[in-house]
Amino acid sequence: MHARGLCHGDVYLHNTLLVPPGDGGDGGDVRLSDLGATCAYDRTAGNQLERVEVRSFARLVHDLLSWCTPPSSPQEHTLVACMASLADECDARSLDEIPTFAGVAERLTALLPAAGAP
């Protein structure tokens, strides 16, 4: 959304939906809902709105991690630790230290091998 100049405005766990298999996705797809706080903005004026939303994403990840069962393998332990580290980086005190969603996407893509994904 941010790449298109749109800010969701309410990225939290309670605004996510899990799409079941055969219901418009492969199953396990997660979608944002509740677009009531969405707004358009001028990306050329800076990315402060995006970084605030990345901070919200960090809190969503921390919420998800709090529901995880303890890792049962070294691979799972590494993945959970990496996700927690990423969430901590996205929740920095200074907005200037918070990555953009493009940076977050790069980090998540780098974690795919640790998650056992192709």
Taken in order of first residue, the domains within the chain and their CATH numbers are 2-111 (1.10.510.10)
pLDDT tens digit string along 53-70? 999 999 999 999 998 888
Tokens of residue 73, six digits: 């393998």
CA distance 90 to 49: 13
Q: Are 115 and 79 in contact (CB under 8 A)?
A: yes
Q: Does the pLDDT of residue 118 top 60, yes or no?
A: no
- pTM strictly above 0.85: no
CA distance 71 to 59: 20
